[in-house]
């Protein structure tokens, strides 16, 4: 279930703050739980340290779409394409 997966991923991140893959998985779990604000917080954190992470841009765009921020989502998807 999503709650257990979420807790597992949070535990991984707490033990290794540089684990980008775990952070991406956490952001996706938040999206699946309809928590786009939390997903955006995580993707923004990833992009602060690596603006060329196209997966973070993509997940960020999906979260922005859930918030109905379509122009920002399009920009995020464009950023993903430009760095991939």
Beta carbons within 8 Å of 74's beta carbon, 6+ residues apart: 61
Per-residue pLDDT of the chain (84 residues; tens, 9 = 90+): 788 888 877 776 666 656 888 899 999 999 999 999 999 999 999 999 889 999 999 999 999 999 999 999 999 999 999 987
Q: How much is the pTM?
A: 0.80
Of the candidates 56, 48, 12, the one whose C-alpha atom is nearest the C-alpha of residue 31 is 56
Phi and psi of 82, rounded to 5°? Answer: -75, -25
- Rounded distance between C-alpha atoms, residue 52 and residue 42, angstroms: 15
Q: Check residue 18 and give its pLDDT.
A: 66
- Rounded distance between C-alpha atoms, residue 30 and residue 74, angstroms: 20
Q: Is the dihedral of CA 10, 24, 63, 56 positive or negative?
A: positive
Q: Check residue 72 and give its pLDDT.
A: 98
């Amino acid at each position: 279930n999503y709650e257990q997966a979420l807790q597992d991923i949070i535990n991984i991140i707490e033990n290794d703050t540089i684990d980008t893959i775990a952070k991406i998985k956490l952001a996706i779990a938040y999206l699946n739980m309809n928590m786009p604000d939390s997903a955006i917080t995580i993707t923004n954190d990833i992009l602060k340290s690596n603006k060329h992470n196209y997966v973070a841009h993509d997940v960020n765009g999906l979260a922005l779409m859930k918030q109905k921020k379509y122009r920002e989502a399009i920009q995020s998807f464009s950023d993903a394409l430009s760095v991939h």
